[in-house]
Chain A
Amino acid sequence: DAGITQSPRYKITETGRQVTLMCHQTWSHSYMFWYRQDLGHGLRLIYYSAAADITDKGEVPDGYVVSRSKTENFPLTLESATRSQTSVYFCASSEYGTSQYEQYFGPGTRLTVT
């Protein structure tokens, strides 16, 4: 099916482990985004990408790494997971970068760091 998918949907990992969250979109949208959702904070931007091989930091990038070798994929890696990274992570994409275009969100990944 066309759209934006995330995997895994649920993940439990231990402190200090590396974990990668996957995001895949079938629309060939240029822009992709990673957000984390925490109670009392809404959604906060972690990283975004304007095109393959072009990425930039958002509001809360520390502890995260992204890459974008292909337009359709935008993985998010926690290099050494910490308990404060327990959150729900949303990937989003947008056809264009200008602010008038809505972002389409994936179903989210619930990550628990123990």
Chain B
Amino acid sequence: AQKVTQAQTEISVVEKEDVTLDCVYETRDTTYYLFWYKQPPSGELVFLIRRNSFDEQNEISGRYSWNFQKSTSSFNFTITASQVVDSAVYFCALSVWTGTASKLTFGTGTRLQVTL
């Protein structure tokens, strides 16, 4: 069975601070994909990034960066110089192929509050 743990339920930072959201996953599959989704106050889920299990290169996209470490089964997400618009709930998710479809297992989410 797959499991995703986001131990940080809520994080509050002041604008311009850097913040890291932790994600730890469990799976016995050797091929899998990891995702981060953002859920702003409006409620929709927005895809941020996908990373496959064979690619441990870190990725940077503007103020966002992701650190994937298979050795610790972690896929952490860092926001540099946070802004109020970053306030949202962030979900980490693990996708594996079951033979009939890919199934996403979500973590419980981390609520990020960025204040002025």
A: which residues have CB within 8 A of B?
Answer: 31, 33, 35, 40-45, 48, 50, 56, 58, 88, 90, 92, 94, 97-108
Contacting residues, chain A, for B102 (C-beta < 8 A)? 31, 94, 97-101
Contact indicator A102/B108 (Cβ below 8 Å): no
Closest 4 pairs between A and B when the two form their complex, measured CB to CB: A99-B102, A42-B106, A99-B95, A105-B45
Q: Given A42-B107, A45-B103, A105-B37, list of 10 further CB < 8 A pairs?
A: A40-B108, A42-B91, A42-B108, A48-B101, A56-B100, A88-B43, A98-B102, A99-B33, A99-B97, A99-B103
List residues of chain B with CB within 8 A of the CB of A100: 33, 50, 52, 95, 102
- Contact check, B106 vs A97: say whether CB atoms are below 8 A apart: no
* Minimum C-beta distance from A4 to chain B (A): 10
Contact indicator per residue, chain B 73-116, by CB within 8 Å of chain A (1) or not (0): 00000000000000000010101110011111011110000000
Q: Given that A40-B108, A41-B108, A42-B106 are contacting pairs, would A56 and B43 also be in contact in the complex, using a CB cutoff of 8 Å?
A: no
Chain A residue contacts of B100, Cβ below 8 A: 50, 56, 97
Shortest C-beta distance, A15 to chain B (Å), equals 25
Nearest chain A CB to B106 CB, angstrom units: 4
Q: How far is the CA of A107 from the CA of B43 in the complex (A)?
A: 7
B residues near A (Cβ < 8 Å) are 4, 6, 31-33, 35, 37, 43-45, 47, 50, 52, 91, 93, 95-97, 100-104, 106-109
Asked whether B91 lies within 8 Å of A43 as measured between CB atoms, the reply is yes
A-B contact pairs, 30 of them (CB 8 A): A33-B104, A35-B106, A40-B108, A42-B108, A43-B45, A43-B93, A43-B106, A48-B103, A50-B101, A56-B101, A58-B103, A90-B45, A92-B45, A97-B97, A97-B101, A99-B32, A99-B95, A99-B97, A99-B103, A100-B33, A100-B50, A100-B52, A100-B102, A102-B35, A103-B104, A105-B44, A105-B45, A106-B44, A107-B44, A108-B43
